Structure 1
Amino acid sequence: DARTKLELDGPAGLGGDVFIQPHDGMSESIISNILLPLGSDMGAMIEERMLEGAVGTVKKDGNYYGVPLATESIALFYNKTLLDEYGFEVATSFETIKEQAAVYNDNAANKFLIRWEPGNSYTNQFFLTAAGFQLYGENHDDASQVNLNTQEVIDGLTFFQSMKEYLPVPYADLNWDTIHGEFIKGNVPYMISGPWSLAEAKTGAEDNGFEFGVTTIPTINGVQGETFSGNIIACVSAYTQHPTEAKQVVDFLASEEGLQIMYDVQGKIPALKDSSVIEGVVEDPYIAGILAQAEYSQPMPILPEMSKYWGAAETMYRSVWEGLATPEEAAAKALDDYNTALQMTE
């Protein structure tokens, strides 16, 4: 990713002057001294215009190390036209998803009701939180409480494992093309994705003659699982030879004009207190669906230890999905993998 590349290449004068990263990488970026503080003037702009929760992801010890551009969460995308053809209501629970899949699916024809990335630890978080998982404790800020090898994780993985019956596809074959690409062609009733899919989904719906919507992730056993929410941050490299110009680029990206372009082209949700200044956002029903799920989301923890969580959790999900480990075995190994990764950085 951009942060890792800059840590390796920055001292040699390589890498971009400006780079974009998810907010969970900010803590390690600050610790590794690869970010240029943006100064008090830009800090005042950030405090005045950006969402309060987003400001906290770029601020440390009174310094501002990036500008939040967008906020995001995954949600449930649905093809209303396909659902209507089968007489289905939009599912509000995974129990309903299973019932509809039993009618809709045709394994031989590669026809499945719902698609998502089962090998992605960011996307799959809601399976665990619906079972009570609290990553890094109740406030998600206690590095001593990763809570990986717990009954809550095992229960969440058990339900996750049960979904393989309704999407019997190897995780490696469920990627952007086979999920997002098939949805925008009008071939998939449901997909789990985020605002990064909105622009092409709108174009696909228009080109292929279907109506779609976005809503909250279905409940599991009556519980609304919490997804990860994130902020996309624009940063200036501490190694830049052009700090003034680099800050000007970041300032433009965060301007109303820059954020309007981001929304128009990518469908991303500006991290603004007042999103009404970006034409189309307030009236956008798809954005409303993303924001509805954001009410049931938790910011990705910004602890340095978080960087070690992703790989351990990814292996955990993938091994369960492929039948290589039971939920109990996968949860235990995830904790071991996480602790090993931490020890390697000490």
Structure 2
Amino acid sequence: MGTGRRGLITIAVTVVCAVTVLAAPGTAFASPTPSPTPSASATPGASSAPTPVTNKDLEAVRKKLDRLYHEASVATDAYNLAEDKAERQSAEIVSLAQKIVKGKKKLAELRKRAGAAAAAQYRNGGLPDEAHLVLSDDPAQFLDGAGRVIQGERATKGLLAELNRTQQDLEQYAKDASAQWERLETNRKARAKAKAKIKKQISAAEKLESELEAEEKERLAELERQAALRAQTEWLDSGILDAIDGEASARGKKAVAYATAQLGKPYEWGAEGPGTFDCSGLTSQAWAAAGRPIPRTSQEQWKQLKRIAVEDMRPGDLIIYNDDASHVGMYVGDGAIVHAPRPGRTVTVAGAGSMPILAVVRPDI
């Protein structure tokens, strides 16, 4: 192993801080091959064989990779949320712009009508209708004119009131549009910041993995499988599966069918199909296909959807993972989920208890 690679492994061990070998009873990991002991006949000063990477080293790497990908997942959620808000704000700005255009046309028409009324008064010698009415000697004309005067007064007042309301509406539309632009800019900066963090964390994880030899990568993958298996076994040993017997709703079945049809497709942060997905992109698109739009991110799914007890969950429900709601999978029954794990992985089936469960939420209540 090169000096750079050994340095990264050492850093991983230091970051983890006093990581011990997987010491759970019955752990089935083979002991590493011991370092060769130099023989008495060895030539003094000769280079010794490189020290093999132990399971302890690889476990430290696994935990560091988990941390890096977890931080990338959190940043991905932040990016997706900012993206979702930006789309809604852009749509609102377009709507406000259309209202402003219509309002300006309406204001121009009202002003034209007001101008026509003023011109008519000027043609009457500047006297208001009431004055012309008083000067009339014809009683019938007087009574007929009185009705027209009242109607005219009402029309004039209505015209002025409508003109004033339209002017106020335009001012409010302009204020709202300005506020939306400010929010849009704030979310643009949030997206840029989240995107930079995602790339940084994923790049660091990929670099760390690239320093491993093929055999070490296989052992690392085995450690990952064993860690997930232990968590799933502990969850099943609690007897929880005996209490879970709910049947999927009609929409739940459609959501499960969509999600499972994506098996094998690559993970890509910020993606929601059709060729690649991130975790919440998969679940949100599955439920959209079932006719029930839900929030885009795992954190918003956790915040906005109805929470239910784990023992009451049924296929189609979403399981939110980690204390920060940074991951989500869809329960498909028999203690399993379908999910998009992380960069470098594909949409797959996993144990529902293989990660720390925060909550279960149901979209179709």
TM-score calculated relative to the size of structure 2: 0.22
- Specify which structure has the higher proportion of strand: 1
- TM-score normalized with structure 1 length: 0.23
* Higher RCO structure (Cα 8 Å, ≥6 apart): 1
Q: Which has the larger radius of gyration?
A: 2
Q: Name the structure where helix makes up a greater proportion of residues.
A: 2
